[in-house]
Homo-oligomer: A and B are copies of this chain.
Amino acid sequence: MASVCFGVDIGGTAIKMGCFDDAGKLISKWEIPTRKENNGEQILPDVVEAIYGKLDELSLDKNHVIGVGIGVPGPVFADGTVNRCVNLGWDVFNVADRVKELMNMPDLSVKVANDANVAALGEMYKGSGEGYKNIVMVTLGTGVGGGIILDGKILAGTSGAAGEIGHMPVEPTEEVSCSCGKKGCLEQYASATGIVNMAKIQMGDRAKNISAKDVIDLAKAGEEDALAVIERLGIYLGRALASVACVVNPQAFVIGGGVSKAGHFLIDYIEKNFVTNVFRPCKDVKFVLASLGNDAGIYGAAALILI
């Protein structure tokens, strides 16, 4: 084995680690806990220790490492400086420089990007976005995240906030506040939380203790109120993606996150409303389900180095 690359996806609870060969083939993946105490000062030393441990295991030394790609849960500037990762306790510092320092390899290629953007890159690199160069990944989880890849590269944006489509304003009459402080964000309808909240309004007492998965299962079984909830999700998300399409004119939307496990049933509702609202020259965009699941981050982090 000539050389390896590490893809690291730092989350609030666990750090996913991947060791790849130089063609992007995953050799080994594992997880370590995220130690957030003392403003997360142990996180990067833990990552470096895990890298060394893996190198030992593979009978390699650090000179076999062609690079380390890292996804972090927060805004990142192009030079690798993070701008406060609240979930990790991190303030403002250069993650790339810190990793080079910890590995005592000043010339090592270390690239850092926002985790949602890195996941989008991963799907383009080895997932269902393979073969495309312009994609928008939409992650429907507890919230709604997004990542934009243009011409094969992450669009980070001026303040690292490009692709944050969960906070597009979609409902001017909303009275409840989003986690971001605004009212009527896409995330309030198209996330697991949003599904549950809409179900509570639609179903009243019957929605006590209901989960997003319950609502989706009920809708699939044809329950009318649950269908109305999914229809509403489709209207907001389809219309929002029609706006995104005439802004960046992508080849494909890659739909991921827990809610996307609803599969083509959900995609159909989104696409139906997309088609009605999209500007014709932008209409030939594919809707595909993400295929890498929780591994998108490590693949994308590796892709920061390998492509």
Contact = CB atoms under 8 A, between A and B. Distances in A.
B250 A158 contact: yes
Given A169-B239, A169-B242, A243-B168, A280 B180 contact: yes
A228 interface: no
A54 to B, nearest CB: 34
Nearest to A172: B239
Given A162-B247, A165-B247, A247-B247, A282 B157 contact: yes
A158 to B, nearest CB: 5
Contact of A282 (B161, B239, B251): B161
Can you tell how many copies of this chain the complex includes? 2
Interface in A163-195: 163-165, 167-169, 172, 180-182, 185
A222 interface: no
A281 B75 contact: yes
A268 interface: no
A249 B251 CA distance: 20
Contact of A277 (B134, B160, B182, B277): B182
A94 B9 CA distance: 44
18 contacts: A134-B157, A155-B249, A157-B248, A157-B282, A158-B249, A159-B282, A160-B281, A161-B246, A161-B281, A162-B248, A163-B246, A168-B243, A168-B279, A169-B243, A182-B276, A182-B279, A185-B279, A243-B243
